[in-house]
Amino acid sequence: MGAVGSKQHARVPKASKLSDVYDDNENSVAARYDTLVSAFKTQFEGEKPKTIARSPGRVNLIGEHIDYEGYSVLPMAIGLDVIVAVSVALKEEGNVEEDEAEATLSIANVDGEKYTPKEFPFDHEQEVDVKSHHWTNYVLCGFKGIFDQLKKQNKLESVLESAFMKRVKKVMVMVDGKVPLGSGLSSFSALNCAVTVALMDAFELSFTKGELSELTCLSERYSGTQSGGMDQAISIMGEKDLAKRIDFNPIGAMDVPLPTNLTFLIGNSCAVSKKAESAHKHYNLRVVECRLAAILMAKHYGEDIEKAKTRVTLREVADLYCNKGDLWTALGAVRKALNEGSYTKKQLENDEGLGDLRKIFDCENNEAFNVVLQKNDTFKLRDRARHVFSEARRVHEFQKICEGQSPRYAVSGPIYEHWCKVIGLEPDVGVASDDPTKDFGHPMYGIGKEDALAKLMHLSHESCKTQYECSCDELDELVDAFMSAGALGARLTGAGWGGCVVAVCESDIAEEILADVKKSFYEKRFQSGVANIADETNLLFKTAPSAGAAILHYDDEKGVIV
Ligand code: GLA
């Protein structure tokens, strides 16, 4: 079966029954929505929700840290989600006191003790306080993103001047999240997406899924991380039973059917990844390193230095200079264009002739990059670029294998064929090493589809660990625990530096593997208090592709769904 139908032009569906969205027991899902609604009514003194929306977390099967470099990734939406109830109170016409009062955006959480409520002015131009790391920052991101999108569509003035917007007195938002925080399953993107969809509907606006994916990607940057668009795109465009290949520039989501005899498992490493807090030394630093690598590669290909400095992604450079984006060629070029080890700031600015790095990254206007350059003096470029190009290739191979192509044929490209000839192998033999000239190996040769997918996941983890350096001891230990228990493959998922592992296994032994991993990895953590046994089902579980964002019809008489 080929990749079918990109759905970016569709609108977020209005679910007509809970089973359209959830596989879980309908009663417990309905009870969760009842709790959301009663928390809403209590918090906002009897007001009723106008709109309810949900958006899920995600697990990335393969393609880590390449979305912001323009390369496709292959995630699926998971069953855990964020649900949001919203209502807009309007000023009474002719009521002078109300007319003059400042409109507000009031945000609360069902778990109000842990996630305290906050009130903001109803002002889309206000800044997000990135120093506070308060959970409501992501709600503000969603709120601001809607107006940014309107501006982009030249509709901002007319919407702000509309009778509806002028009468807004108070926007009320109640949130309930089930995606574990800091787990690498995109809890914050699920929050941003659910809020954006709910507010869009409550403000009587309508954006396509593609527009929503892009606007939430950009709006989340107000929180302080320069992330790519994978998490938001899959949260918005995910579908039951299908993984998706998410493309960028332009955004798109192609269906990828997963082998039905395989089950995907998720395990939380119990190392919390605080993406926003640690961005300057982890996530944002990698974005900076990749951009510097792209610039030096463009320079290597003879671009004038000023022109090279305008390059933003590795893909941009590979598409221009590496056999129209051939990833083997790009991998070869990395070795020639970039030094092994690290570059210092001084080397980059003086020896490489890049001048003031702060100017390249527009640090006057971009605080996230400003902090990266203030706090780091060494930048690894070759390893980061190698990871990006080899990971982009693994995504391509993974998709081809899922679509039924033999692992032997999943690899292609002129340089690859050339190398195969040099080495004396048939060009259709799969290669999973990222450097055929040096560590040539053909682990995909003669293995079945399932093993090939698992092997790609394994290689992805190795590359994340050694070249991108975004793993950590707990993630590596959990990967080993899954493998020792009999999984076919396992890898960190999401940004890394903590969070979750995704593993794949033959479906008939999934339960055995879960029991084994519980014993080897979690029991000691339950005993030491690092993990809480009450959270067991959210720490280690089976997962399958789930539905993406949805708007749920709310009727106060009949409940959430009519
Ligand atoms: C985070 C970001 C994504 C992506 C992953 C790593 O989840 O939000 O855009 O870059 O890390 O693959």
pLDDT digits (tens, 9 = 90+) for 185-214: 999 999 999 999 999 999 999 999 999 999
d(CA 509, CA 49): 44
pLDDT band at 356 (very low <50, low <70, confident <90, very high): very high
Tell me what percent of the residues of the chain surpass a pLDDT of 90: 76
- Residue 93: the pLDDT is 82
Least confident stretch, 61-70, 384-393, 408-417, 535-544: 408-417
pLDDT digits (tens, 9 = 90+) for 284-296: 999 999 999 999 9
pLDDT digits (tens, 9 = 90+) for 20-37: 899 877 788 999 999 999
pLDDT digits (tens, 9 = 90+) for 64-112: 999 999 999 999 999 999 999 999 999 988 777 777 789 999 999 999 9
Rg over CA atoms, the chain = 24
Cα(385) to ligand 1 centroid in Å equals 16
Q: Look at residue 227 and tell me whether its pLDDT is greater than 90.
A: no
Contact between 468 and 383 under an 8 Å Cβ cutoff? The reply is yes
Across all residues in the chain, what is the average pLDDT? 90
d(CA 120, CA 43): 16
- Residue 560: the pLDDT is 72
d(CA 89, CA 86): 10
Residues 442-459, mean pLDDT to the nearest whole number: 77
Pocket residue to mutate for ligand 1, from 61, 222, 227, most atoms within 8 A of Cβ:
227
- Residue 327: the pLDDT is 87
Cα(545) to ligand 1 centroid in Å equals 18
Burial of 118-143, coded b for 16+ CB within 10 Å and e otherwise, reads bebebebeeebebeeeebbbbbbbbb
Q: Look at residue 119 and tell me whether its pLDDT is greater than 90.
A: yes
- Residue 141: the pLDDT is 97
Tell me the residue ranges of DSSP E strands in 338-458.
Answer: 342-344, 378-380
Establish whether 319 is a catalytic residue: no
Cα(44) to ligand 1 centroid in Å equals 35
Closest residue by Cα to atom 11, ligand 1, is: 495
Contact between 559 and 18 under an 8 Å Cβ cutoff? The reply is no
d(CA 211, CA 12): 11
Q: Look at residue 2 and tell me whether its pLDDT is greater than 60.
A: no
Cα(560) to ligand 1 centroid in Å equals 32
Cα(248) to ligand 1 centroid in Å equals 13
d(CA 422, CA 411): 16
CA-nearest of 276, 243, 467, 495 to 368 is: 276
pLDDT band at 554 (very low <50, low <70, confident <90, very high): confident
- Residue 107: the pLDDT is 98
Of 231, 255, 326, 434, which is the active-site residue? 231
Counting atoms of ligand 1 from 1, which one is nearest the CA of 217? 9
Closest residue by Cα to atom 2, ligand 1, is: 227
CB-based pocket (< 6 A), ligand 1: 60, 64-65, 67-68, 186, 227-228, 230-231, 494-495
Q: Which residue has the higher pLDDT, 446 or 55?
A: 55
- Residue 326: the pLDDT is 87
Q: Look at residue 253 and tell me whether its pLDDT is greater than 60.
A: yes
Contacts of 286 (CB under 8 A, 6+ apart): 65, 384, 468, 470
Pocket residue to mutate for ligand 1, from 67, 181, 470, most atoms within 8 A of Cβ:
67
Counting atoms of ligand 1 from 1, which one is nearest the CA of 68? 10
Counting atoms of ligand 1 from 1, which one is nearest the CA of 230? 9
- Residue 545: the pLDDT is 95
Where residue 353 falls (left for φ over 0; alpha for ψ -120 to 50; beta otherwise) is: left
- Residue 6: the pLDDT is 61
Pocket residue to mutate for ligand 1, from 181, 230, 391, most atoms within 8 A of Cβ:
230
Counting atoms of ligand 1 from 1, which one is nearest the CA of 60? 12
Q: Look at residue 274 and tell me whether its pLDDT is greater than 90.
A: no
pLDDT digits (tens, 9 = 90+) for 510-528: 999 999 999 999 999 999 9
Burial of 247-279, coded b for 16+ CB within 10 Å and e otherwise, reads bbeebbbbbbbbbeebbbbbbbbbbbbebbebb
pLDDT band at 344 (very low <50, low <70, confident <90, very high): very high
Counting atoms of ligand 1 from 1, which one is nearest the CA of 228? 9
Q: Look at residue 421 and tell me whether its pLDDT is greater than 70.
A: no
pLDDT digits (tens, 9 = 90+) for 466-505: 999 999 999 999 999 999 999 999 999 999 999 999 999 9
Residues 150-175, mean pLDDT to the nearest whole number: 96
Least confident stretch, 125-139, 347-361, 407-421: 407-421
Q: Look at residue 440 and tell me whether its pLDDT is greater than 90.
A: no
Q: DSSP state, 300?
A: H
Contact between 34 and 436 under an 8 Å Cβ cutoff? The reply is no
Residues 6-32, mean pLDDT to the nearest whole number: 86
Cα(502) to ligand 1 centroid in Å equals 15
Contact between 197 and 235 under an 8 Å Cβ cutoff? The reply is no
Q: Which of 4-8, 328-332, 461-465 has the highest mean pLDDT?
A: 461-465
Q: What are phi and psi of 101, to 5 degrees?
A: -70, 145
Asked if the peptide bond before residue 250 counts as cis, ω within 30 degrees of 0, the response is yes
Cα(230) to ligand 1 centroid in Å equals 6
Contact between 493 and 269 under an 8 Å Cβ cutoff? The reply is no
* Strand pairing report for 500-506 and 262-268: antiparallel
- Residue 413: the pLDDT is 53
Closest residue by Cα to atom 8, ligand 1, is: 227
Cα(86) to ligand 1 centroid in Å equals 28
Cα(65) to ligand 1 centroid in Å equals 6
Helix (H, G, I), strand (E, B) or coil at 14: strand
pLDDT digits (tens, 9 = 90+) for 360-384: 999 999 999 999 999 999 999 999 9
- Residue 230: the pLDDT is 97
Q: Which residue has the higher pLDDT, 482 or 442?
A: 482
Residues 399-404, mean pLDDT to the nearest whole number: 89
* Strand pairing report for 168-177 and 118-121: unpaired
